[in-house]
Amino acid sequence: MNELRKIWRVPLGLTIPAFAILLVVFGVPAIQLFLISTNAPSFSITNYHAFFEQPGNILILLQTIKVSVVTTFICLIIGYPTAYLIVNASKTASAALIVLVFIPWLTSGLVRTYAWTVILGDRGLINNVLIGIGIISTPLSLLYNRLAVYIGMVHIVLPIMILPLVSVMYGIDKSLVAAARSMGARPVLAFWRVFFPLSLPAVRSGTLLVFVVCLGFYITPQALGGLSDAMLSNFIAAQLTNSLDFGPIAAEAFILLLIAIIMLSLFGLDLSGTQSQPDSVRKSEYGWASALRTLRRQVGEFVVPLRARRWPKQLYQPVHSGRSWNTLAAIFVILVMMFLLFPGLIVIVMSFSAGAFLEFPPSGFSLKWYRSFFGDSSWTGAFWNSLQIGVMVTVLSTVTGTLAAFGLTRTSSRIRRVLMLIILTPITFPTIVVGVACYLGLVNLGLIGTKIGVVLAHSIGAIAYVVVIVAATLSNFDQRLEQAAKSMRAGPIRTFVRVTLPLIRPGIIGGAVFAFISSFDEVVVTSLVSGFSLRTLPLKMLENMNQQIDPTIAAVGALLVLMPVLWIVALYLTLWRSRRAHEAGLPLAGLADRAEVPSSAAGQRQ
């Protein structure tokens, strides 16, 4: 008993519950998986060999990489200017735009994927409109092809690109660009020489995160793509349900993981969430882009004579800034926001349709699909399962995650870095890998197909969210306040309850909300570990999406979209009212501070 007490005194002791869950559900089975893939104890590479033997497999692997690269690239092309415009908009506009980017990130990726089937389908929105105005007479086939996959994937991962970019761009001192201009750099050059290089760290982390998330994509390519658009994830999931031989599956999961790890370590993603980095680190951060810098410099030298000729001529020449450029920028941002938000809205609107089919625009208003939803016990049962699981996940992960965050912020920064990386693996590894490992973990525990099993599988991701958000709040928390309280004769517990807790409560609440949402929306891991009888709401929706087209599904989708949004609204109203919540502690502020980390968390949200 005394021994146990001592453990709790050490900060690292606080991380034990979180790590215990992580190890049992994910860590040990992941190692097991690796051993299986190498046919331990005989250790051979036959499984890997067998994978690469089949040309079809290599094709799928290359296709997975290609789709991920293209998606990432499109996200960067759209995301960078969007983030730039958000940061440079007026204060209110930019706050509103950030919320608009957050909302799709928070709402179920499954529902948003489903929305695209409605938009792109043969009787979907686009075809209906085009036929309606007489441009075409037969529907275009927009769905079940590669383009649809790209549209859906970009739609889902775009927020993960935009949010870290926005958070870093906010940190770039505006007076630096002003300084460059005052020294004679025109706006484009000031951007290119000053703003852009300073935003590169965010470009790097955003790109990596999006890429790794794309590698693990599963639902979207399956729902929007044709047979030839399957990604490695689909391949793995299909085998998991059909085959009993774990060796090849394990090998495939590790190949996917290896690609992710190679990318992450090549570009050195820092997920540790530490705020102040020593200068040496920061310098090496800029170091990787030295090739780009050299290029920039050489181009610079090339135009030097041109500048020399231009400078005296342009001195004191007025320039009339183009209003048309501003209009163009506004149109661009509006289009991006519509792209992000429209699909979710469509589902909500359609759920009130009076027609018998999925159609848009709906032919009338009715609540009949909600009635059909609440009248069908298999739907309401799934809904209850989701709620129960969500609440249990929230409680479990908030408690263990908060403890872990406390422990981590009070250890040396090197240990913190490593442990943080480990605890974030469930939300940084490709989803399918996490799913396969969890499956094995729950098989070990004999919990496949049970609620407890699903709760555990969801909790590892939820704990990661809680740790990130609470740790962000804690790093803004001034520890001298605790010292002050102790100097006034408050004991450790009183100090915690009276000083620490009230100040970090917003962070804990934010973490809890994220934990709930992440569980309520989860479908990939769930589909692997829930067995034959247990159905959550997203899982049942996924099945029905594949089988039948019934507007009840739109009502389900609307519920899945609205629940998290309502949660967030409720959360903000409470926080707003208790203005005591000092600003740094607001979960959104915490996220914006270090959007790099929680948006890596977005990995699971497809």
The distance of closest approach from Cβ of residue 178 to another protein in the complex, given in angstroms and rounded to an integer, is: 6
C-alpha separations of 593 from 74, 86, 468 in Å: 25, 15, 11
Among 98, 101, 168, 180, binds another protein (CB under 8 A): 180
Q: Please select the residue that binds another protein; options are 4, 306, 493, 573, rule is CB under 8 A.
A: 306
Contact between 320 and another protein by CB under 8 A: the answer reads yes
Stretch that binds another protein, among 48-56, 114-122, 319-327, 568-576 (CB under 8 A): 319-327
Minimal CA–CA distance to 93: which of 334, 260, 374?
334
Closer to another protein by Cβ: residue 180 or 337:
180
189 binds another protein (CB under 8 A): yes
Interacting span for another protein (CB under 8 A) from 173-181, 332-340, 375-383, 480-488: 173-181
Please confirm whether the linkage preceding 506 is cis (ω < 30° from 0): no
Residues contacting another protein: total by CB under 8 A: 41
Measured from the CB atom, the residue of 194 and 466 that comes closer to another protein is: 194
Least distance from C-beta 322 to another protein, angstroms?
12
Alpha-carbon distance of 213 to 204, in angstroms, equals 14
- Tell me if 279 contacts another protein by CB under 8 A: yes
The minimum distance between CB 192 and another protein, in angstroms, equals 12
Is 299 near another protein (CB under 8 A)?
no
Determine how many CB atoms are found less than 10 A away from the CB of residue 265.
Answer: 9
**Distance (Å, rounded) from C-alpha 247 to C-alpha 49?**
12
Burial degree of 315 (CB within 10 A; 0-12, 13-18, 19+): exposed
Two tokens, residue 375: 């009248």
Write the CA distances from 541 to 337, 464, 521, integer angstroms.
26, 26, 11
The answer to whether 371 contacts another protein (rule: CB under 8 A) is no
Say whether residue 296 binds another protein (CB under 8 A).
Answer: no
Q: How far is the CB of 287 from another protein (least distance, A)?
A: 11
| Residue 281 touching another protein (CB under 8 A) | no
Identify which of residues 70 and 172 has a Cβ nearer to another protein in the complex: 172
Residue among 285 and 359 whose Cβ is closer to another protein: 285
Q: Which helix (H) or strand (E) holds 389?
A: helix 377-409
For residue 541, which of 241, 236, 124, 114 has the smallest C-alpha distance? 114
Mask for 451-480, x = binds another protein (CB under 8 A): ------------------------------
- Interface residue with another protein, options 307, 410, 417, 486 (CB under 8 A): 307
HSE-up (13 A, CA, CB side) for residue 433: 30
d(CA 280, CA 301): 29
Is there a contact between 321 and 70 (Cβ–Cβ < 8 Å)?
no
- Peptide bond preceding 361: is omega within 30 degrees of 0, i.e. cis? yes
Q: Out of 89, 100, 147, 185, point to the residue binding another protein (CB under 8 A).
A: 185
Task: By CB under 8 A, name the one of 7, 53, 95, 184 that touches another protein.
Answer: 184
Which amino acid makes up residue 7?
I
Q: Is 194 in the site for another protein (CB under 8 A)?
A: yes
With H, G, I as helix, E, B as strand and everything else as coil, classify residue 365: strand
H helix or E strand, kind and range, residue 464: helix 451-476
What would the x/- binding string for another protein be over residues 236 to 275, using CB under 8 A?
----------------------------------------
Contact residues for another protein, defined by CB under 8 A: 173, 175-176, 178-187, 189-190, 193-194, 197-198, 279, 282-283, 286, 300-301, 304-311, 314-321
